[in-house]
Amino acid sequence: MAFADGVRSVVLRYAKAAILTDGEAPELVITLADEHYPLLVDLHYRLWREHDLIERFAVMRNTGDAPIRLEQTLSALWHLPLDETYRLRTLGGRWGGEFQISEVSVPLGKQIIESRRGITSAHANPWFGIDRNGSASETHGDVWFGALAYSGNWKIVVERNAYGQTMVAGGIHDFDHTWKLDAGESFTTPSFVAGFTAEGYGDASRLLHRYQLDVVMPRSTASTLLPVLYNSWYVTEFDVNFENQAAAARKAADLGVELFVMDDGWFGVRDDDTSGLGDWSVDKRKFPAGLTPLIEYVNSLGMEFGIWVEPEMVNVQSDLYARHPDWIYYFPTRPRSESRNQLVLNFGRADVQAFVLSFMHELLSNHKIRFVKWDMNRSFSEPGYPDAEDGREREVWVRHVQGLYRIFAELREVHPQVMFESCSSGGGRVDLGILRYVEDFWMSDNVDPLDNLLMYEGYSMAYAPKAKMMWVNDAFHWTNRSPSLTFRFHQAMTGALGVGANLLRWNAEEMAEAREHIATYKRIRPIVQHGRLYRLASLRQGDWAAFQYVSADATETVVLVFLHASRYGASRRWLRLQGLAPDAQYRIEGAETVLSGAALMARGVQIELRGDLQSTLLHLKRL
Ligand code: DGJ
């Protein structure tokens, strides 16, 4: 931080405290004041009692008449008990391999997880879990955990010093970051939510999931069920037209799909990824009469219609770029580096925001669109803004995110009937900040179901099952595996269900099987989307993965069990369930077996699977 006279030292003293009770949750606000300069810092602690979480953010206020330069604007610093050694668990990976769990003993010094890509990033996710030296499991042990509600450059620093202190700091990244706080202005950091449980990583996840369902997710759909969707991307790619979308839609409707989503390729001149981004008018070569005939056709089949956009981007080959080459981030003397042939629009600019809002309003007002897949397919490179006000050049990173949130807020307000999906080449923008504006996350472009089970284990450490969108597919170029339709469905049914396969190639038997899976999913959907998740078995520790969902009142439970590969004959295991009422009796649907909750949790159910990539689904109901 620096004051107008060049002083770079801050001396904050306690000024006052207040408890606010008029919001959704009680909030303690501690105000600190600089001893000498007109700077106030409000530390907000919002207490989510029912979720056992604390949300912390800070507001910096300039009450004087000269600017103050902020250089580090972290959201919170959490202290762990003294004189312990800890293990840190993080989520990271890459495109097509998001949410891999990694663990490291917290070393002396600093361990940093971060994104400097402009977006949340697939390489690291703003969540942490810490336990005492690896002593916590899914069900036992002390776990400290937290997640940042931010979709731009972020960092979480875990520090252990030689005095036995361990701390976790987190917030907006200080890399290339300054913020000019003019007279009378204030700056609010994103929220950093954190908690503690003595009952292992499973409970830590459930606390975060419940908080997301009850507090974070858009209120309009938080308690309604997300539809089963179909997405045409892997089938038609950019080659979309009325005929091929209508043909896919007929098949999808026949399966019981409720929402048909047309992906990339419907606008501008967009025959591949080299052109068209920025030109958001319907391509008349592909849809001579516009989108309405397709939407009406989809509606006539009993489905809602959804569409893909990537508003933060522009191709050099586009009318938009020809008109506004200065709307992107660039330095005049440096190359304008392209990635996937595209450049990032400067969302901090008011004219860019107005442009995006105007084409989105037009699209959503003139068409019966119920779902928007909002994509973002590259990281930032040269973050220049030559027209930025003096001293505000480095604000681009934060202003981009603020612009994005502002646009989402307005779109949701003006078009309350529209749901949104956050996609960034898969799971590159999955965080609690964007979750306030979207119904779901596209978890990964890698749709291989076995890889997905591993990613889902990591994803679900932090994020609610309901927000995980994955499609049942039939091409697995990432891994070249050939899983059965059942395995693919069961895997995709662990969250919000989608289908992305080429249905025109499915035979009558496959269609019938898929129809049955979708009908089953609709029966279990309330438990999967709104219940509590228990991770019963992990592919990281063996050949099995199992995810159990329990309804809020524990009257129903669903278990999805997966086997990677049989070894040495039959693969059998007892799966001990969790979260049931011990004294209640439960019947396994489709079987005569009745067992008490206590027996199901102490002894379990025996599962036998044989072969490679096998799976089964159990649905138990309380008598
Ligand atoms: C990347 C996304 O992750 C895909 O699902 C698809 O929407 C493509 N972009 C379209 O360009």
Name the amino acid, one letter, at 373. Answer: K
How far, CA to CA in Å, does 611 sit from each of 479, 497, 566? 18, 25, 5
Q: Give the Cα separation of 302 and 296 in Å (integer).
A: 10
pLDDT score at 479? 87
| CATH number, position 504 | 3.20.20.70
| CATH number, position 549 | 2.60.40.1180
pLDDT score at 58? 98
Ligand 1 atom at shortest distance from the alpha carbon of 425: 3
Cα 48 to ligand 1 centre (Å): 36
Q: Which of 196, 105, 106, 100 is nearest to 145 (CA)?
A: 196
Same domain? 209 vs 258: no
Cα 420 to ligand 1 centre (Å): 14
Same domain? 112 vs 233: no
1, 17 contact by CB (below 8 A): no
* Ligand 1 contacts CB of residue 57 (under 6 A): no
pLDDT score at 477? 80
Ligand 1 atom at shortest distance from the alpha carbon of 231: 5
Q: Which tens digit of pLDDT belongs to each residue from 425-436?
A: 999 999 999 999
Q: Which of 376, 370, 371 is nearest to 343 (CA)?
A: 376
pLDDT score at 122? 98
pLDDT score at 393? 97
Which of 308, 422, 473 gets mutated to test ligand 1 (max ligand atoms within 8 A of its CB)?
Answer: 308
Same domain? 544 vs 504: no
Ligand 1 atom at shortest distance from the alpha carbon of 273: 11
pLDDT score at 475? 75
Cα 306 to ligand 1 centre (Å): 14
Range of the domain at 561: 535-622
Q: Of 182, 216, 250, which one is at a domain's C-terminal end?
A: 216
* Ligand 1 contacts CB of residue 445 (under 6 A): yes
Exactly one of 34, 279, 375, 474 is catalytic; which is it?
Answer: 375
Same domain? 170 vs 278: no
Above 80 in pLDDT, residue 136? yes
Q: What mean pLDDT, rounded, does the chain reach? A: 97
553, part of any domain: yes
pLDDT score at 356? 98
Instruction: Using pLDDT thresholds of 50, 70 and 90, give the confidence band for residue 73.
Output: very high
Same domain? 375 vs 502: yes
250, 239 contact by CB (below 8 A): no
Beta bridge partners of 13: 33
Above 80 in pLDDT, residue 570? no
Which whole number is the average pLDDT over 36-57?
A: 98
Number of domains making up the chain: 3
Instruction: Using pLDDT thresholds of 50, 70 and 90, give the confidence band for residue 367.
Output: very high
Which of 236, 339, 374, 423 gets mutated to test ligand 1 (max ligand atoms within 8 A of its CB)?
Answer: 423
Instruction: Using pLDDT thresholds of 50, 70 and 90, give the confidence band for residue 167.
Output: very high
Above 80 in pLDDT, residue 476? no
168, 80 contact by CB (below 8 A): yes
Q: Of 184, 216, 248, which one is at a domain's C-terminal end?
A: 216
CB atoms within 10 A of CB 80: 18
Q: Of 158, 185, 216, which one is at a domain's C-terminal end?
A: 216
* Ligand 1 contacts CB of residue 442 (under 6 A): yes
Same domain? 72 vs 212: yes
CB atoms within 10 A of CB 390: 6
The residue nearest atom 6 of ligand 1, judged by CA position, is: 233
What does the angle CA 62 – CA 66 – CA 68 come to, to the nearest 5 degrees?
A: 55
Pairing of strands 186-188, 192-197: unpaired
The share of the chain scoring above pLDDT 90, in percent, equals 97
Which whole number is the average pLDDT over 249-253?
A: 98
285, part of any domain: yes
* Catalytic-residue membership of 271: no
Beta bridge partners of 605: 575
DSSP-based helix, strand, coil % in the chain, nearest 5:
25, 35, 40
Same domain? 613 vs 503: no
Which whole number is the average pLDDT over 450-465?
A: 98
Above 80 in pLDDT, residue 81? yes
Q: Which tens digit of pLDDT belongs to each residue from 340-364?
A: 999 999 999 999 999 999 999 999 9
489, 512 contact by CB (below 8 A): no
* Ligand 1 contacts CB of residue 313 (under 6 A): no
Q: Give the Cα separation of 481 and 440 in Å (integer).
A: 27
pTM here? 0.98
* Region of residue 315 (phi > 0: left; psi between -120 and 50: alpha; otherwise: beta): beta
Same domain? 472 vs 496: yes
pLDDT score at 29? 98
* Catalytic-residue membership of 375: yes
Can you tell me which residue has the tokens 């199992």? 546
Same domain? 57 vs 121: yes
